[in-house]
Structure 1
Amino acid sequence: MALKKTDLYSSLWKSCDELRGGMDAGQYKDYILTLLFVKYVSDKAKADPDSLIDVPPGGSFDDMVAAKGDKEIGDRFNKIISRLAEANDLRNVIDLADFNDEEKLGKGKEIQDRLSKLVTIFSDLDFRGSRAEGDDLLGDAYEYLMRHFATESGKSKGQFYTPAEVSRVLAKVVGITKDTRQDQTVYDPTCGSGSLLLKVADETSRGISIYGQEKDNATWALSKMNMILHGYAAEHVILKGDTITSPQFTSGNVLQTFDFAVANPPFSLKSWSNGLELEYGRFEYGRPPEKNGDYAFLLHILKSLKSTGKAVVILPHGVLFRGNAEADIRQRLLKQGFIKGIIGLPANLFYGTGIPACIIVLDKENAVGRTGVFMIDASKGFIKNGNKNRLRSQDIHKIVDVFTRQTTIDRYSRMVPLSEIADPKNDYNLNIPRYIDSSEPEDIQDLHAHLHGGIPDRDLDALGGYWDAFPQLRDQLFQPNRPGYSDLTIDVSQVQQAILDSPEFQKFTQEALELTTEWFDAHRKRLEGINETTRPNDLIAVLGDDLLTRFKPVPLLDEYDVYEQLMTYWHDVMHDDVFMVMNDGWLEAAKPRKIVLDKDRKLSETPDLVVGTGRSAVKYKMDLIPPGLIIARYFEEEQAQVYELVTATEDASRAVEEYVEEHAVEGGLLAEAMDEDKINKVLASARLKAARHEGTDPDEVAALEHLIKLYNVEAAVKKAAKEAEAALHLATLKTYGDLTENDVRTLVLDDKWRKTIKARVAAEAEALTLALVKRIQELGGRYVELASTLDAELKHLESKVAQHLADMGVQ
């Protein structure tokens, strides 16, 4: 069966645990990624004789497996990798990690066991059978590891990786599309591990010529491996060197120019000019400060663009408003019309820094006629992810849509005229809050309402989106009090139920569900046709864009919130499902698989279904079709019977507990059956036998007989429930073998995907309603107590205190 991406990632991260003890993340990433590379190219060479990499005898992953347990395993690994490197001109690229380093990996038996375990983990992964060429399994795994290594490497080592979500924004905003020609060029002067360049290439349908430069030798090696893992041949150029002091893409004293450029340079680099000799005409609009290199990189990129070139650069917010030399450069660039747009990003997105950054969009092609700068404040669109923030799918799509269409959205985006930027009060300062106020409107307390009651109509008017969606609801909930103020027609505690029972809300929810059904039905045939040629990224792009389009006219519901529900489910479940169907086909992917025990005789994963008991129990995992879907479609009555028996078991157990609690007390009828404050059927039976023999209190005998009867009922019901559940599990397992391909499609498409997405959309609609309820309850409670009432209560309390003091003789 196909390996799910989530399983692959888990295995890879498990391999990191084998190395963690001796080194930090910045070091062990080299070992893990080297093994990943060797394993992948070895498997691809077996499956494809024309693969990009030549795997020579003695230079394959199989040779590493053969070295398991050898006392010289580290040295053998180094030689194997060296042979592979020499055969493919990859010296100083894939052979940087020393597998014989005793300081990092240990000595003797320690290094022998550690590397043997490590290679065993990788040997369990098989990339030969992956027919899903439209899905980048290894590339995504590489990115997954990059993200984790960057997270763990800390402040000094996290700069080799640009978060994938940010990379996707840059790749789309720079202007590259499916129609971009293959002979067009994209350049990243600080390319790190190459992830940003690869994201740009993903936006094209025919590919694009890639050029990059990276200063750090180890990171440059990562980028070379990354390119090969993504299927890019040697003509995609990644060179070493300091971009500012030693640019590699030159012709004499002239910089090579490109159609597009993307970059995430190091923020505010103080040593940018160390060793700088040739300027290559880069600083014609001003020389950056000696102790801050942000504009050095920006100007380098600008100079590296063709006359129609476009670029996106990530820089700290300070470049937008800092003064002196940077202010002069900024003013000249604006006057030249080179700055097309600015996108403010959330804080704490990047590894190595928590400061907020922005995207500067440069465009030479239309610079002369440019009359404004399009600005977006996207600083509030993110989700917390551990100790970092992360852009959600909806945040990415919204930024790209709004920027591409130049859409004005209140408190989010607008086109700012150059005349406004040049106004003396702004003086070419580009700080986004000067032009876009993204703060939430202040919640003003109304003194008049506190004095005389009523809810201010202006607060109700602010909920206009709800009244647009539910036109009659406002009149149902509120009635006029006096000009400018209204009262609730019901008690504040009844607001939520009133809204949920409202025909308009029910109609709103139903229409949202119907819209979701229409959307799914429109794509059902496409989903039915998923096979080895499917491209998952293209598939979800079509589904997501159409969902956005359909929900855009719907009042109140934010189409991007609905889109996020789809994308979250895609990343959590659907993508793995699609990947399995692509690799194995519908029928094979739906088959249960037995769970094997790990080396410690423990379950490697949680079973979905257990058949049998004790040591003979067999545990199964159903990756594509969970047992609940089979049961819901084919065994509804049997499941209902199990539920009834489980309920009966709970009732029987409760009857035992209540009876024991009533009588197993000191002096109670069951007190003599207690042993260390415990009682059970064995103790009760023993006491009953003794009581009968002794001829003691008949009430005690009756109580013991009743308790034993309750125990027997409980045991019988438990046994029946267990047998019914076992029979249901067995029937469910058998049904998997009887499924046809159409059955599998129905279960996955309708019972799993469609049903889940509809439930998520319904939850989104309900969440909006709960927000309305919360606000109405807040407003209703705020002005319920009038100032006069509070004043009267205060006087009453003062009078009581005075009386108490007088009673105590205090004047």
Structure 2
Amino acid sequence: MNDSKLSAFLWSVADLLRGDYKQSDYGKVILPFTVLRRLDCVLEPTKAAVRAELAKRKAAGVNPEPFLLKKSGQGFYNVSDLDLKTLMGDQANIAENLRAYLQGFSPSVRDIFESFDFHTQIDRLTKAGLLYLVTEKFANVDLHPNVVGNAQMGMVFEELIRKFAELSNETAGEHFTPREVIRLMVNLLFIEDDEALTKPGVVRSIYDPTAGTGGMLSVASEHLAELNPKARLVVYGQELNPESYAICKADMLIKGEEITNIVFGNTLSADGLPGQKFDYMLSNPPFGVEWKKIEKEIRKEAEQMGYNGRFGPGLPRVSDGSLLFLLHLVSKMRPAAEGGSRFGIVLNGSPLFTGGAGSGESEIRRYMLENDFVEAIIGLPTDMFYNTGIATYIWIVSNRKPAARKGKLQLIDASGFWQKMRKSLGSKRKELSPDHIDDITRLFGQFEEVTRDGVPISRIFESKAFGYRTITVERPEKDAAGKIVLGTKGKGKGKPVPDASLRDTENVPLAEDVETYFEREVLPHAPDAWIDPGKTKIGYEIPFNRHFYVFKPPRPLAEIDAELNSVTTRILDMIGGLTA
């Protein structure tokens, strides 16, 4: 069966639902039924053997599960005497029998249907008089792997997910990352791993802590398979939204992946894969989402575990948890001595510069840069994501930097690399073409400063260039006669009393001597000033846009005057026409 026929069949189910379901709810029926029929077909050849094995092991009084898995030849099984075909023989009891059939699946599969909230859809379809008709539709399509291979089934399933995402911009925004952005990130991750790209039988692991519907993991698997068909990528993920989790887990099941590697829950407050490390990681966490609901758990881990936990470097403000996901991924990196890791994460602009010296955000940036983890930051075009038009950035992070990159950070301005979409989807109006993806990948891989048409698009800096010291500059308090007031007790006795109203701060680049800066920038304007060394703080920020700013001189005044005169003349002519 080809993709278009299969996709058309699955969409024909929508004709049955029209009127009783909103378009954006079609997926709540079609996706779980597609999964159910696929599993139904996969298990059909071993159904009798599994049931016989169950009876045998029960009689022997032993746990049957490992034997049932072996008999089924899959990572799941079903012990019910029912299947979708036999359900058709008892129309009056279709709902009850369908529930019994679902209950016969192994726990990991039941979990998928529970997360889909499929039992609610059974009730809804029953009430609308549609359950038998929909079940019959699916019972009559053959989705066995011999007819529809894993790769084809995965592509069709992904196409359905994408279509349902388009029908609901809310879903698209929260749980769907544009495919071309994922392709770019995957390119950047694999570009320097020659072994994964060429060696037969190589195995790598990849993890997404905000897995959504599994798009990043799927694209990564496909991409590595294209580059090296003999390589194997073992996927892991965690997802908070129940429906997205169900879709992700079902997608992995359809593609033959190990579904126990996909876990449910809040990654930040309850890491579902504790202690595990990965070769590669990808994430598109929600932009600017507060973490107040889980603040207690996060602060407890930070205080009790420090650097032995995930959040030792610092905590960002509660209004934006993006940097918590960054620290979580760092905690999942393999030690460099064991091969290290590389990951890509999509963040908005806030993590680059929000928070002054000593703030949680600045301390996290300091930790990342002083440990030389950040390889590159790529600025993407605006209007790239479904739920926001803001500027976004891909951070490429690694603890196994190539020699040429050590101590360095590459910034790539790809904000001009885009083409207009034929049809906007939510806030997404722009997309990366394959040529754009290749161009950005080359800029990263070549690791050189590049300027095109007088505009810089790739720049390389020392990591410490983004650090600074915030010094506190004090000025003396003076009495009514203009005389400096001196302290009378303690350590300040006999020394000038600082005037809080004249207190100021200066940011001094880490690479520059503080005294030299002070003498050059402060003393000529305030000869009586001094530095309070006890208040000096180290900070880090990455002013991305400033490094790509190109000054454009204003037009000549004569040209501006001529344009103003022309506009004034037109206005006067229009007024004259109205009063004539």
Give me the TM-score of the superposition, normalised by structure 1.
0.48
Partner residue of 1:209?
234
Aligned positions of 1:368-379 closer than 5 A: 370-379=406-415
Stretches of structure 2 that go unaligned for 5 or more consecutive residues are 47-71, 303-307, 469-506, 510-538, 574-579
Aligned positions of 1:224-243 closer than 5 A: 224-234=249-259, 237-243=261-267
2:547 aligned to 432, 435, 448, which one? 435
State how far apart, in whole Å, the 1-side matches of 2:413 and 2:269 are. 34
> Contact conserved, 1:413 with 1:436, CA < 8 A, in 2?
yes
Aligned positions of 1:41-190 closer than 5 A: 41-45=39-43, 50=73, 53-54=76-77, 58-66=81-89, 70-83=91-104, 85-86=105-106, 89-95=108-114, 96-98=116-118, 101=121, 104-105=124-125, 107=127, 110-111=128-129, 114-119=130-135, 121-122=137-138, 125-128=141-144, 136-155=151-170, 158-175=173-190, 177-179=196-198, 182-190=202-210
1:406 aligned to 434, 447, 459, which one? 447
State how far apart, in whole Å, the 2-side matches of 1:9 and 1:422 are. 54
Which amino acid in structure 2 is aligned with residue 10 of structure 1?
A
Q: How far is the alpha carbon of 1:9 from its aligned partner?
A: 2.8
State how far apart, in whole Å, the 2-side matches of 1:27 and 1:393 are. 33
Q: How far is the alpha carbon of 1:312 from its aligned partner?
A: 0.7
Give me the TM-score of the superposition, normalised by structure 2.
0.66
Deviations 1:196-227 (A, max 9, x none): 12222223332123222223333322222111
State how far apart, in whole Å, the 1-side matches of 2:364 and 2:242 are. 32
Which amino acid in structure 1 is aligned with residue 265 of structure 2?
G
Partner residue of 1:194?
214
State how far apart, in whole Å, the 1-side matches of 2:371 and 2:413 are. 24
1:386 aligned to 417, 424, 434, which one? 424
State how far apart, in whole Å, the 2-side matches of 1:66 and 1:344 are. 59
Which amino acid in structure 2 is aligned with residue 215 of structure 1?
L
Q: How far is the alpha carbon of 1:349 from its aligned partner?
A: 3.0
Partner residue of 1:738?
none
1:245 aligned to 254, 264, 269, which one? 269
> Contact conserved, 2:88 with 2:94, CA < 8 A, in 1?
no
Q: How far is the alpha carbon of 1:299 from its aligned partner?
A: 0.8
Q: Secondary structure at the match of 1:323?
A: coil
Partner residue of 2:377?
342
- Shift of the 16–132 alpha-carbon distance from structure 1 to 2, 3 Å rule, reads closer
- Shift of the 102–22 alpha-carbon distance from structure 1 to 2, 3 Å rule, reads farther
Partner residue of 1:331?
366
> Contact conserved, 2:208 with 2:283, CA < 8 A, in 1?
yes
- Shift of the 159–138 alpha-carbon distance from structure 1 to 2, 3 Å rule, reads same
> Contact conserved, 1:94 with 1:225, CA < 8 A, in 2?
no
Deviations 1:8-36 (A, max 9, x none): 33333343453354455675423211111
Which amino acid in structure 2 is aligned with residue 9 of structure 1?
S
State how far apart, in whole Å, the 1-side matches of 2:148 and 2:85 are. 24
State how far apart, in whole Å, the 1-side matches of 2:334 and 2:289 are. 26
- Shift of the 365–43 alpha-carbon distance from structure 1 to 2, 3 Å rule, reads same
Q: How far is the alpha carbon of 1:39 from its aligned partner?
A: 2.0
> Contact conserved, 1:63 with 1:80, CA < 8 A, in 2?
no
Partner residue of 1:289?
317
Partner residue of 1:316?
348
> Contact conserved, 1:342 with 1:375, CA < 8 A, in 2?
yes
Partner residue of 2:400?
365
Aligned positions of 1:760-799 closer than 5 A: none
State how far apart, in whole Å, the 1-side matches of 2:554 and 2:45 are. 65
- Shift of the 399–128 alpha-carbon distance from structure 1 to 2, 3 Å rule, reads same
- Shift of the 359–66 alpha-carbon distance from structure 1 to 2, 3 Å rule, reads farther
Give the helix-richer structure, 1 or 2. 1
> Contact conserved, 1:191 with 1:213, CA < 8 A, in 2?
yes
State how far apart, in whole Å, the 2-side matches of 1:260 and 1:309 are. 6
Deviations 1:55-88 (A, max 9, x none): 5564433245556xx24433333333332x23x6
Which amino acid in structure 2 is aligned with residue 273 of structure 1?
E
Deviations 1:228-254 (A, max 9, x none): 1111135x612222221211322xxxx
State how far apart, in whole Å, the 2-side matches of 1:420 and 1:288 are. 22
Partner residue of 2:38?
40
Q: How far is the alpha carbon of 1:412 from its aligned partner?
A: 6.4
> Contact conserved, 1:160 with 1:219, CA < 8 A, in 2?
yes
Q: How far is the alpha carbon of 1:425 from its aligned partner?
A: 8.6
- Shift of the 123–273 alpha-carbon distance from structure 1 to 2, 3 Å rule, reads same
State how far apart, in whole Å, the 2-side matches of 1:299 and 1:212 are. 16
State how far apart, in whole Å, the 1-side matches of 2:399 and 2:210 are. 21
State how far apart, in whole Å, the 2-side matches of 1:71 and 1:397 are. 58
State how far apart, in whole Å, the 1-side matches of 2:399 and 2:25 are. 41
Which amino acid in structure 2 is aligned with residue 356 of structure 1?
A
- Shift of the 51–249 alpha-carbon distance from structure 1 to 2, 3 Å rule, reads closer
Partner residue of 2:301?
278
- Shift of the 100–215 alpha-carbon distance from structure 1 to 2, 3 Å rule, reads closer
> Contact conserved, 1:155 with 1:353, CA < 8 A, in 2?
no
State how far apart, in whole Å, the 1-side matches of 2:435 and 2:87 are. 44
State how far apart, in whole Å, the 1-side matches of 2:322 and 2:204 are. 27
- Shift of the 14–274 alpha-carbon distance from structure 1 to 2, 3 Å rule, reads farther
> Contact conserved, 2:95 with 2:131, CA < 8 A, in 1?
yes
- Shift of the 59–327 alpha-carbon distance from structure 1 to 2, 3 Å rule, reads farther
Stretches of structure 1 that go unaligned for 5 or more consecutive residues are 452-781, 799-809
Q: Secondary structure at the match of 1:435?
A: helix
State how far apart, in whole Å, the 1-side matches of 2:88 and 2:550 are. 58
Aligned positions of 1:722-801 closer than 5 A: none
Which amino acid in structure 1 is aligned with residue 134 of structure 2?
L
2:333 aligned to 274, 291, 305, which one? 305
Q: How far is the alpha carbon of 1:121 from its aligned partner?
A: 4.5
Partner residue of 2:59?
none
Which amino acid in structure 1 is aligned with residue 125 of structure 2?
L
- Shift of the 148–21 alpha-carbon distance from structure 1 to 2, 3 Å rule, reads same
> Contact conserved, 1:244 with 1:273, CA < 8 A, in 2?
no
Q: CA RMSD in A?
A: 4.0
Q: Secondary structure at the match of 1:305?
A: coil
2:282 aligned to 259, 262, 266, which one? 262
> Contact conserved, 1:416 with 1:435, CA < 8 A, in 2?
no
- Shift of the 259–233 alpha-carbon distance from structure 1 to 2, 3 Å rule, reads closer
Sequence identity, in percent? 22
> Contact conserved, 1:160 with 1:192, CA < 8 A, in 2?
yes
Partner residue of 1:668?
none
Which amino acid in structure 2 is aligned with residue 79 of structure 1?
A
2:437 aligned to 396, 407, 416, which one? 396
Q: How far is the alpha carbon of 1:188 from its aligned partner?
A: 1.7
Q: How far is the alpha carbon of 1:344 from its aligned partner?
A: 1.6
Which amino acid in structure 2 is aligned with residue 342 of structure 1?
I
State how far apart, in whole Å, the 2-side matches of 1:304 and 1:129 are. 35
Q: How far is the alpha carbon of 1:358 from its aligned partner?
A: 1.3
State how far apart, in whole Å, the 1-side matches of 2:148 and 2:11 are. 23
Deviations 1:742-786 (A, max 9, x none): xxxxxxxxxxxxxxxxxxxxxxxxxxxxxxxxxxxxxxxx9xxxx
- Shift of the 116–316 alpha-carbon distance from structure 1 to 2, 3 Å rule, reads same
> Contact conserved, 2:212 with 2:248, CA < 8 A, in 1?
yes
State how far apart, in whole Å, the 1-side matches of 2:35 and 2:550 are. 46
